[in-house]
Amino acid sequence: MTNSIDINLEIWRQKDSRAAGEFEVYTLQDISTDMSFLEMLDVLNEKLTREGKEPVAFDHDCREGICGMCGAVVNGIAHGPEPETTLCQLHMRHFKSGDTIVIEPFRSRAFPIVKDLITDRSALDRIIQAGGFVSINTGGTPDANAIPIPSATAELSMDAAACIGCGACVASCPNGAAMLFTGAKISQLCLLPQGQKERKERALSMISTMDSEGFGNCTNERECEAVCPKGISISNIARMNREFVKASLF
What value, to the nearest 5°, has the Cα angle with vertex 48 and ends 102 and 64? 60
Check: CB of residue 171 under 8 Å from CB of residue 73.
yes
CB-facing half-sphere around the CA of 249: CA atoms within 13 A: 6
Task: Give the separation between CA 151 and CA 80, rounded to whole angstroms.
Answer: 34
β-pair partners for 37: none
Q: Given this chain, do its domains 4-115 and 122-249 carry the same CATH topology?
A: no
- The angle, 0 to 180 degrees and rounded to 10, between the axes of the packed helices 199-212 and 235-249 is 110
| pLDDT (0 to 100) of residue 233 | 97
**CATH of region 122-249, choose from 3.90.1300.10, 3.40.50.300, 1.10.1060.10, 2.60.120.260:** 1.10.1060.10
What strands, in cross-sheet order, belong to the sheet with 100-104?
A: 22-32, 4-13, 100-104, 73-74, 77-78
Task: Give the separation between CA 85 and CA 80, rounded to whole angstroms.
Answer: 8
Check: CB of residue 164 under 8 Å from CB of residue 68.
yes
Domain parsing of the chain, residue ranges: 4-115, 122-249
| pLDDT (0 to 100) of residue 92 | 97
Check: CB of residue 28 under 8 Å from CB of residue 97.
no
| pLDDT (0 to 100) of residue 2 | 59
The domain 4-115: what is its CATH number?
A: 3.10.20.30
Task: Give the separation between CA 69 and CA 233, rounded to whole angstroms.
Answer: 21
- What is the chain's pLDDT, residue by residue, as a tens digit (250 residues)? 559 999 999 999 999 989 999 999 999 999 999 999 999 999 999 999 999 999 999 999 999 999 999 999 999 999 999 999 999 999 999 999 999 999 999 999 999 999 999 999 999 999 999 999 999 887 777 776 788 899 999 999 999 999 999 999 999 999 999 999 999 999 999 999 999 999 999 999 999 999 999 999 999 999 999 999 999 999 999 999 999 999 999 8
